Amino acid sequence: MNSPRRRRDVAGVPSWLERVFGDPEERLLSLADVEGLAARAAAFARGGGETSLGATSSWAGELRWALNRATLASDRRNHELRVARTIDGARGGVVTNQIDDVSIEGAVRAAERTLHYDRTNPERIPDKPPRFDYPKTAIWSDATSGQPADERARGVQAIIAPAEQAGMVSFGFVAVQATGHAIIDPALGDSLYARYTDAQCSLTVRDAKGMGSGWAGASSYDWSRIDPHALAQRALQKCLASRNPVTIEPGRYTVILEPQAVHGLLRYVFAAAAPLTNRGAEHNPRNPFNLRDGMSKLGLQVTDSRLTIVHDPTDPDLGMVPFLDDGQPLRPITYVDHGLLANLSYMRDYALRWLHENLGFPGRLTYRMSGGSSTIDEMISTTPRGLLVTRLSNIDVLDERSTLLTGVTRDGLWLIEHGKISKAVKNLRFTESALAVLNSIEMLGSPEPVFSPREPAIVPPVKARDFSFTATIDAI
Average pLDDT rounded to a whole number, residues 34-54: 92
Last residue of a domain, one of 224, 258, 288: 224
Instruction: Specify whether the CB–CB gap between 394 and 407 falls below 8 A.
Output: yes
Enclosing domain of residue 309: 245-476
Report field, pTM of the whole predicted structure over 0.95: no
Q: Is the pLDDT at 309 greater than 50, yes or no?
A: yes
Q: Does the residue 6 lie in any domain? A: no
In a domain, 99, yes or no: yes
Q: Are residues 193 and 278 in the same domain?
A: no
The verdict on residue 9 lying in a domain is: no
In this prediction, residue 11 has a pLDDT band, given cuts at 50, 70 and 90, of very low
* Residue 231 located in a structural domain: no
Mean pLDDT calculated for residue range 398-425: 94
| 255, 186: one domain | no
- Looking at the fold, whether 458 and 369 belong to one and the same domain comes out as yes
Angle between helices 15-22 and 31-44 (to 10 degrees): 140
Query: What pLDDT, in 10s, does the model give residues 425-457?
Result: 999 999 999 999 999 999 999 999 999 988 899
Number of domains in the chain: 2
The residues that bridge with 76 in the sheet, in sequence order, are 60
Query: Residue 39 falls within a domain, yes or no?
Result: yes
One domain, residues 220 and 252? no
Query: Do 300 and 217 belong to one domain?
Result: no
Under the banding of pLDDT at 50, 70 and 90, the label for residue 264 is: very high
Mean pLDDT of the chain: 86
Is there a single domain that holds both residue 333 and residue 441? yes
Burial of 25 (0-12, 13-18, 19+ CB in 10 A): exposed
Rounded to 5°, angle at Cα 302 from 301 and 304? 85
Q: Is residue 58 part of a domain?
A: yes
* Statement: residue 5 has pLDDT above 50: no
Query: Which residues, 6 or more positions from 142, have their beta carbon under 8 angstroms from its beta carbon?
Result: none
Which of 168, 189, 224 terminates a domain? The answer is: 224
Residue that finishes a domain, picked among 224, 257, 284: 224
401 falls in which pLDDT band (50, 70, 90)?
A: confident
Same domain, 67 and 193: yes
Regarding whether 423 and 275 lie in a shared domain, the answer is: yes
Identify whether residues 148 and 279 lie together within a single domain: no
Which residues are CB-neighbours of 382 under 8 A, at least 6 positions away? 419, 443, 463
Identify the band that residue 352 occupies on the pLDDT scale cut at 50, 70 and 90.
confident
pLDDT at res. 272: 66
